[in-house]
């Protein structure tokens, strides 16, 4: 990974931090962390990184689960991260359906622009770790570093990269290990 700007990392949620589901993660009881992901976030936190989540959650807009359920899922994720010794400095969610053409649904840059405003920092050069083309495209739209993990939809995404450039790792733990090794070399 190239030199990071500041000490901020943006993560997608489903397929990166936790297992994804074709029919959506609709309740806290369905949320399960991927192996090594909570420890990876704790390692980032221990290295003084601010960790922010940017996630599309169209299940809310589709009426499959409520905004309150989404809040409860994210609260569980936050508790699990904290129990592992990490912290999440922000969770940004787009609840809209794809057909709503909002500006916050990845690959649109709206969520990432909000993060920039809220943190007072450009995301140029900041790693954005995701498992879908929409994550990579959103990263490119704001000048962030697109990083792809093979968990979740990552394997399919690798096959569909085309001309897109991305750093590719097996999982969040591998991506974080590379980032922290790079940081030590700087």
Report the interhelical angle of 67-83 vs 37-46 (nearest 10°).
70
Is 12 assigned a catalytic role?
Answer: yes
Give, for 146, the enclosing helix (H) or strand (E): strand 145-149
Is 14 assigned a catalytic role?
Answer: yes
Residue 134 contacts by C-beta under 8 Å, 6 or more apart in sequence? 56, 105, 106, 107
Phi-psi region of 175 (alpha: psi -120 to 50; beta: other; left: phi over 0): alpha
Give the catalytic positions in this structure. Answer: 12, 14
């Amino acid at each position: 990974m190239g030199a990071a700007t500041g000490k901020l990392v943006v993560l997608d949620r489903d397929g990166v931090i936790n297992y994804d589901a074709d029919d959506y993660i609709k309740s806290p009881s369905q949320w399960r962390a991927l192996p090594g992901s909570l420890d990876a976030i704790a390692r980032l936190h221990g290295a003084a990184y601010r960790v922010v989540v940017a996630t599309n959650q169209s299940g809310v807009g589709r009426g499959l689960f409520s905004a309150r359920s989404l809040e409860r899922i994210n609260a569980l994720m936050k508790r699990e991260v904290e129990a592992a010794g990490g912290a999440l400095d922000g969770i940004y969610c787009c609840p809209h359906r794809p057909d709503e053409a909002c500006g916050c649904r990845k690959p649109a840059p709206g969520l990432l622009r909000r993060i920039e405003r809220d943190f007072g920092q450009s995301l140029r050069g900041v790693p954005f770790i995701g498992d879908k083309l929409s994550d990579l495209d959103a990263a490119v739209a704001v000048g962030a570093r697109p990083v792809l993990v093979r968990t979740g939809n990552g394997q399919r995404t690798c096959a569909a990269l085309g001309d897109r450039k991305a750093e590719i790792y097996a999982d969040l733990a591998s991506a974080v290990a590379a980032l922290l090794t790079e940081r030590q070399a700087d």
